[in-house]
Amino acid sequence: MAKEECMTQSTTTRDTSTLRNRRTGPTSSREALQALEDSQAAGLSPEDDTQSSNGTSHHLSAGGHVSRDPQSGGVVLMLVAGLSFATRLYRITEPPHVCWDETHFGKMGSYYINRTFFFDVHPPLGKMLIGLAGYMTGYDGSFPFAKPGDKYEHHNYWGMRGLCAVLGSFLPIFAYLIVLNLSRSYTAALITATLVICDTGCITISQYILLDPILLFFIMAAVLSMVNFSLQRFRPFTSSWWLWLILTGVNLAGALGVKFVGLFVVLLVGLNTVWDLWRLLGDLSLSLVEITKHFLARIVGLILVPLFLYVTIFAVHFVVLNKSGPGDGFYSSAFQSRLIGNNLHNASMPEYLAYGSIITVKNLRIAGGYLHSHWHLYPEGVGARQQQVTAYLHKDYNNVWLVHRPDNNASQPGTADLVRHGDIIRLEHKETTRNLHGHLHEAPLTKKHFQVTGYGINGTGDTNDLWQVEVCGGRKGDLVKVLRSKVRFLHRATGCVLYSSGKTLPKWGWEQVEVTCSPYLKETPSSQWNIEDHVNPKWPNISLSVLKPHFLEILLESHIVMIRGNSGLKPKDNEMNSKPWHWPIDYQGLRFSGVNDTEYRVYLLGNPVVWWMNLASLGLYPIMVAVASIALQRGFSLGQKRKEHSLVLQREGGLLLLGWLLHYAPFYTMGRVLYFHHYFPAMLFSSMLTGITFDVLLKSTDLLLRPPYSDWLRRLGLLVLLLSVLYSFYLFHPLSYGMTGPLAHEPGSAMAGQKWMDSWEF
């Protein structure tokens, strides 16, 4: 009966190519794969198809498979959901102080409540949701989130933690459903859910005000939507087909809107879609018109919808954050002019640069910074030991300069006071009274450039303090317009041009941006500057409202600033970063809170049994696939069910392995600082792969023993696996929920004897 229903469904969906190719007992991997697709089209697992044809029920498969009865399946799903929410929501208010990166993302949630603009290296959706959760639960945005360890006291922080915990609670549920829909095996789904529920690392990272649980939620939701959409391939353009297609696009926008790491799941869905379209192109029962409809539907659902939602996220971000705040200096003068409270917002100042003006000078390179100096000198061995000149990304009184004539003479009556293209000027640093100075010593980092320093005292220096003003695209005599003119400063003595290299100086330079004098005179944003702040009481002011940029300009600038900021991230003092090869082996955790026996200690570390099982499955999977592929290719008599299990391992396991690689391998190419928590998206894919791999491995016991002994061995193996995970969770759960009292190496500690690796620092 099941086969007749499958035939009927295939006929109604016009997928006649599968009927032409189907045979009784496939003899090659391609034919077996086609037969498997036919059985899945009817909503049956490989075991279901076999049992139905024999007239038996679906309540329990011969291999100890979990019941296919829908009511029983619902009970299992409810159990998974209950355990997931219980483990994530337990003690979310502990500890009642700021932990690890809550100091950043809790503060950014406060900025949204207060509508204060800030700079961050990630897209805004995650912080917007954190701010919304805080606002909806009574948090007023007044807590400063100054540093880890600060007590929340009367502030309602639980709503922001609660949002992250709830979204993190969906991860085991999504993993369970993804594996169930891919493998049609309740055993594989149950193994996967157990691994994710009992992982101490997943619990810890879900319980605090962080972007990670929000990102992981959208990644897993996108994969689940993609898998469910694939299951609708025999019912194209139905309401359920469109639903899962659009939901896939929505969740892709969500993942990318939280962190740029979301690009990896976008790539996974993209590759799967390309393969799906290639399969449709080979279906000779479909006309070119129908194939075109499929192609256009995917453009709408997987490109246009996510793009629209992603842009909408930024539109809301810009509308909400309309007040000036920290990080304004990362953005251009025009960008800052739209922020209420910024000195450029609805401001007025003299239109043209003049001698005697008090100014700030901003580099046109995105995140190039303000021309800056301070009392500190360059260290020994770094050019001349003179005062440092840098570019600083924040507004500061050390960014202020005075514009003087080269000879220090005040203007005479009737003499033009305005600075023009081609004029020679001297810039005096207002705070230290030293002149902007260049000479032939090499620059600190960019060795082919020359050093720029502060030299002289009270405006007295030498001829190396003279700079020629050049308006880009201008002619001799053109006036220098404040904010609007792109200006270059050519050093008269050496012929080089003032330049912001974008390189970050070491700690002796306060990690500010290097400023050099470049002998390469080609016009680039790094050598172009604009006059931003301008004070000169001799000249009338004009309104700057004409400078406000349009939406696409600020959208593009925001992305350039975020990408450059992300690539330039460096570790904080005394903070533990890690290398990608550390992550799969659970080599080193991350301290969230506490350092001694008087503090509440939380330590991010994956459940070692779970992580090492995942590592073992990554080694087992290619071996099992290779053996199964050779056996299928050679036509060995493995039996219909075993062939179908092998094909599930190859195809569905291959999709999960690809997801793991896409979320892990790119980190080896990144130059930015990396942390342990970056592995958690890949960890979820490896856990799902473990569920499928160990399920197929357990089903292979009948190669060793005959029934009923093989059934008992399979059940025993599953029981040992689940109990091992549960027991290790019992041993390591204090790391997630927090510890006080003796340290791990002291008698009476909750973690006494549990330091299985010397690199663990709990």
Question: Tell me: the pLDDT tens digits for 142-171?
Answer: 999 999 999 999 999 999 999 999 999 999
Give me the pLDDT at residue 408, please.
64
- Sign, Cα dihedral of 467, 473, 477, 479: negative
Q: What is the pLDDT of residue 62?
A: 31
Nearest to 120 by CA among 677, 567, 562: 562
Q: Residue 367 falls within a domain, yes or no? A: yes
Q: Answer with the one of 523, 538, 553 that is the final residue of a domain.
A: 538
Of 715, 720, 709, which Cα lies nearest the Cα of 65?
715
Cα 546 to Cα 2, 534, 623: the distances in Å are 71, 16, 66
Task: Note whether 29 and 633 are within 8 A (CB).
Answer: yes
Res 33: pLDDT: 46
Residues in CB range of 343: below 8 A, 6 or more apart: 533
User: What tokens appear for 17 in the block?
Assistant: 């190519």
Please identify, among 493, 515, 538, the residue that sits at the C-terminal boundary of a domain.
Answer: 538
- Write down the pLDDT at residue 258: 97
* Residue 92 located in a structural domain: no
* Peptide bond preceding 580 in cis form (omega within 30 of 0): no
**Domain membership flag for residue 246:** no
User: Which tokens belong to 407?
Assistant: 């000879």
Domains of the chain: total: 2
Query: In the prediction, which pLDDT does 744 show?
Result: 67
Judge whether 430 lies within some domain.
yes
Place of tokens 């941006």: 513
How many residues comprise the chain?
762
The conformational region for residue 694 under phi > 0 = left, psi -120 to 50 = alpha, else beta, is alpha
Domain membership flag for residue 448 = yes
pLDDT at 53: 33
Across the chain, which has 762 residues, the per-10-residue mean pLDDT values are: 40 37 39 47 41 35 43 87 97 92 95 94 96 96 92 94 97 97 93 97 97 98 97 94 97 97 96 95 92 96 97 96 87 85 83 93 86 96 94 92 81 63 95 96 95 90 94 91 91 96 91 95 92 90 76 91 76 65 92 78 94 96 87 71 76 94 94 88 97 90 75 91 95 90 70 82 78
Residue 399 within any structural domain of the chain: yes
CATH code, 355: 2.80.10.50
Instruction: Supply the DSSP string of 623-655, one letter for each residue.
Output: HHHHHHHHHHHTT----HHHHHHHHHHHHHHHH
- β-pair partners for 515: 500
Which residues are CB-contacts of 333 (< 8 A; sequence separation ≥ 6)?
344, 362, 483, 530, 532, 547
19: containing domain: 2-44
| 677 located within any domain | no
**Conformation bin of residue 367: beta by default, left when phi > 0, alpha when psi is -120 to 50:** left
Alpha carbons within 13 angstroms on the beta-carbon side of residue 702 total 12
> Which of 538, 567, 598 represents a domain boundary (last residue)?
538
- Burial grade of 706 (CB within 10 A; 0-12, 13-18, 19 or more): exposed
pLDDT tens-digit series, residues 381-436: 898 999 999 999 888 999 999 999 988 654 444 345 899 999 999 999 999 999 99
Q: Which amino acid is at 745?
A: H
Taking CA atoms, 248 is separated from 218, 244, 277, 484, in Å, by 10, 6, 16, 44
Torsion of CA 101, 106, 108, 109, to 10 degrees: 150
751: which 2 tokens?
Answer: 């973690």
Q: From the CA atom positions of the chain, what is the Rg in Å?
A: 32
Residue 413 belongs to some domain of the structure: yes
Type of residue at 163: L
Residue 91, helix vs strand vs coil = coil
The SS3 of residue 347 is: coil
Query: Which pair of tokens denotes residue 374?
Result: 């301070």
